[in-house]
Amino acid sequence: MLLAGKTKDEYLVPPMTALPRPLFVRAFAIPGNGTVSAHSHAWAQFMYATAGVLEVSTPHGHHLLPPHYAMLIPPHVAHTVVTRECVAFHSLYLDDSLTGADLASECTLLCMTPLLRELVLATSELPVHYDPHGPDGALVCLLADRIRRLRPAPLVVPMPTDPRLLKLARALHANPGDPRSLDEWGRYVGATRRTLSRVFRSDTGLSFTEWRQAVRLLAALPLLERGEAVSSVAASLGYESTSAFITLFHSRFGVTPRAFAMRGVNGFEHVQ
């Protein structure tokens, strides 16, 4: 379903020499197996999906971007977006007056908060030529302030670029609890265990085991928020024991799965 700001037959931003206001918003659905080809903007971009998971490629890496995370992309940095499922996509373009002079030169993965999520949703109805001195302008100022306060994500999942590893990675993203060994994955993608192990490390900076753990931990977040039992989440994601899952979760996020679940959508706001 089209939300706002999508040009006919294209996802790319219409040509502009300047933003009509300090914040320009585009929000639309990208279908599964969709691709937004490599492009860049003259302005910073705050990228977020309120539903679905994005694969975002930039010169600085190839990462999974689940609904708990957002990405801040500096001006003129090329990026590509791929979806494996339908995604509710939000792009917020911000000029220098909103981002400040200390904007990082590399793309940054950030933890979303419930407040900022609601602010992003509210901008979907923001007029292109909103009144910067009225209520809409106040909304924009609050949103920009909240973006500047976001903390870096505690856990990132670098996606591989090697076609064999990417096939494996997408299969595990679709089913994080898949128990297949690296030998079995090798037969699935047409490579030896030794080759996969070597290329995984060189392509992502992680071992296969470390990468799979990261995928499973990110997959656990929406399950815990929905109120599923910690033991059920651990079992569905392929952990040998609930205690192993709890230990790993706490080591990465600074809270236990139960504490995160009790906080619901506020979980990340309190992670130290």
Is the domain spanning 163-270 CATH 1.10.10.60? The answer is yes
Q: pLDDT tens digit string along 222-248? A: 899 889 999 999 999 999 899 999 999
| CA–CA gap between residue 209 and residue 246 (Å, rounded) | 17
- The mean pLDDT value for 45-69 works out to 91
The domain defined by 23-149 folds into Jelly Rolls (2.60.120)
Q: What is the dihedral angle through the alpha carbons of 249, 252, 255, 260, rounded to the nearest 10 degrees?
A: -60
pLDDT at position 9 over 90: no
User: The tokens of 187 are what?
Assistant: 């037969």
Residues 264 and 223 sit within 8 Å (Cβ to Cβ): no
As a whole number, mean pLDDT of residues 81-85 equals 90
Pick 270 or 26 by higher pLDDT: 26
Q: What pLDDT is attached to residue 15? A: 76
DSSP secondary structure letter of residue 234: H
Average pLDDT over residues 116-121: 95
Please give the mean pLDDT across all residues of the chain.
89
**How far apart (Å, rounded) are the C-alpha atoms in residues 46 and 110?**
10
**Element (DSSP H or E) covering residue 182:** helix 182-189
Domain boundaries, the chain: 23-149, 163-270
CA distance 162 to 88: 27
On the question of pLDDT at 60 being above 70, the answer is: yes
> What is the predicted pLDDT for the residue at 10?
56
Distance CA 176, CA 91 (A): 28
What is the per-residue pLDDT across 132-185, written as a single tens digit (0 to 9) for each? 999 999 999 999 999 999 999 988 889 998 999 999 999 999 999 999 999 999
Query: What angle, 0 to 180 degrees and rounded to 10, lies between the N-to-C axes of helices 193-204 and 163-174?
Result: 90
